Each structure stands twice: as C-alpha cells, then as structure tokens.
Amino acid sequence: MCRARFRRETFTIAAPPIVSGDIVLLPDSGCPPLDVSLQATGNGTAYTWLMGDSTTISGTTAVHSYTQSGIYTIQLIVSDPNTCNLADTTTTSVSVFEYADALFEMSTNIIELNDTVSFDNLSTNADSYLWNFGDGTSDTLFEPQHQFAQLGMLQVCLDAINTQQCNDQYCLPIQVIPVINIGVPTAFSPNGDNLNDILYVEGRANISLMTFRIFNRWGELVFETNDPQQGWDGTYRQSAQDMDAFAYTLVAQLVSGRQVTAQGNITLVR
C-alpha cells in the first residue's frame, strides 16, 4: 500500500508599508512678525502643511511669517497612495507673542529750568518700564516725576517691556527754557517822544494768557487787556490822563504753564 506524501511550503506575504511623518520647527515662539522654518521628516510622497492661519503650503520644507499674535496649530499631512494607512497627520504649535504698547502723556511740553514734570503712563501689555528723560537720567517707576536741570529741546522716551521681550518705545519732545521773569514797570511817560510812551507788561513774549487791569485813584477801570502785545497809552475814554499814580492787577499764564499774579502801582509822568 502506498502512502501519498505532501510537501509543506512556507510563503511570506509582505505587508504594505505604513506612511509616517514628523516636524522640525524653528523657532517655535517669538514676536510678530515671526518667520518660522519647517522641515518634514518621513517616508511619504506628498507633504501638505496647514499653517493654522488659513495658509496651505506643499513640500518637505516650508517657510512662513506670522504677523498677528496668537497660538497657531500647524498640521503636517504626509501621504503615499501605496501605503497601508495612505496618510499620516502630525501637529505642532507656534506661539506668537503680543507686543507691549508704550504710551504716555506729560503735564506740559514747555517748562522752565529746574521745573518738575509729571508723567501719566498709558502703556498696555507691559510688565516693566524704562524712562529716558533725554538729559542723561532715567527711571523705572510706573509714573515718575522728573526735574529738568538742562536747557534745550529734549526727547523723553518710554520703553514698555514685557516678559516675552516684545517691547515698544514711545517718545515725546520737551523744551526746557530759562526761568521766565515778567513784571510791570513802576512808571512810564506817554508824552509823545517815542520813549517809554506805552506801558507794556515786561516779558510779554513768554505769556500765553493774561488779564491786565489798571485803575485810577477812585477805583475806576481805565485800561484792560487780555493781549500781551497790547499796552496802555495813558488815555481813558480817549482823554489823556494827568500825571498821577495808578494801581494795577496782573494775572498771567506763561508758556511754561506757570501762573503768575501781581499787583502794584504805576506812576504816569508827563
């Protein structure tokens, strides 16, 4: 009796490859505009980048600029139609920080020597501050006061600084002028000789607003002006006043913002 013999053979069936990918991102954070470079690693035949801001890029590398702050999720789709899973998706994220916004106001932009100025800090998204007053001095207070002891046109700058080092700077000019002296002469002589014929407030070029009044000995108002360039010619109701003593009051605001009040007597000499 013959027995049949069977030969066992082993077959190896290769499984289709699996596509996969990964991302190399540099840098992954920074201040706008933030330029990033991406490199895909993997075994795909096609690479598609979804940049998280409605931008799509194809290729194994991508370069992109983010102009607005925010956190963006980047997707890399690696595909190969000859693989088992056809496509693989991997993600990473990039953080685009928000800039600080430097802004301030100051109490005046024209001051007299050795005057003190107050600063109102209106900055946002900042953690620390650096003031440069343009005279070689600085401060880190939120809202400093500063005395200016240097004449000239200076530039005050504020650096608003945040922890991400997305800093901002804002500057304003300030003019430091010599100390202003104004006053009223004690006498004048309106006699038509073109010498001291008009009584002006002295230092009037540095006055921005004023009220200047002159009264006779009976308390009548004989002259009033709000114009620093206008003086009294010694007349009242179109009549020349006799030699006499007159009283005055002066309220003035200087171009530096300083208020001045004064009163006294004037002698009209004929």
**Local confidence band at 1 (pLDDT 50, 70, 90 cut-offs):** very low
Give 21-96's CATH code, choosing from 2.60.40.10, 3.30.365.10, 3.40.50.10470, 1.10.150.120: 2.60.40.10
Full-model pTM = 0.76
How far is 253 from 268, CA to CA, in rounded Å?
Answer: 26
Beta pairing class for 244-254 and 207-215: antiparallel
Give 187-268's CATH code, choosing from 2.30.29, 3.30.70, 2.60.40, 1.20.1630: 2.60.40
Give which of 190, 187, 204 is closest to 265, Cα–Cα: 187
Predicted confidence at residue 15, as pLDDT, reads: 54
Cβ-Cβ contacts under 8 Å for 196 (sequence gap 6 or more)? 185, 188, 189
How far is 41 from 22, CA to CA, in rounded Å?
Answer: 5
Predicted confidence at residue 82, as pLDDT, reads: 87
Tally of CB atoms within 10 A around 110: 16
Predicted confidence at residue 8, as pLDDT, reads: 59
Cβ(141)–Cβ(208) below 8 Å: no
How far is 112 from 178, CA to CA, in rounded Å?
Answer: 5
Per-residue pLDDT tens digits for 17-32: 787 878 999 999 999 9
Predicted confidence at residue 2, as pLDDT, reads: 47
Mean pLDDT of the chain: 93
Provide the CATH number for the domain formed by 104-177 in this structure.
Answer: 2.60.40.10
Per-residue pLDDT tens digits for 202-223: 999 999 999 999 999 999 999 9
**Sequence ranges of the domains in the chain:** 21-96, 104-177, 187-268
How far is 166 from 144, CA to CA, in rounded Å?
Answer: 23
Per-residue pLDDT at 87 exceeds 60: yes
75 vs 12 pLDDT, higher one: 75
How far is 91 from 179, CA to CA, in rounded Å?
Answer: 66
**Local confidence band at 85 (pLDDT 50, 70, 90 cut-offs):** confident
Per-residue pLDDT tens digits for 219-269: 999 999 999 999 999 999 999 999 999 999 999 999 999 999 999 999 999
**Local confidence band at 9 (pLDDT 50, 70, 90 cut-offs):** low
Residues composing the chain: 270
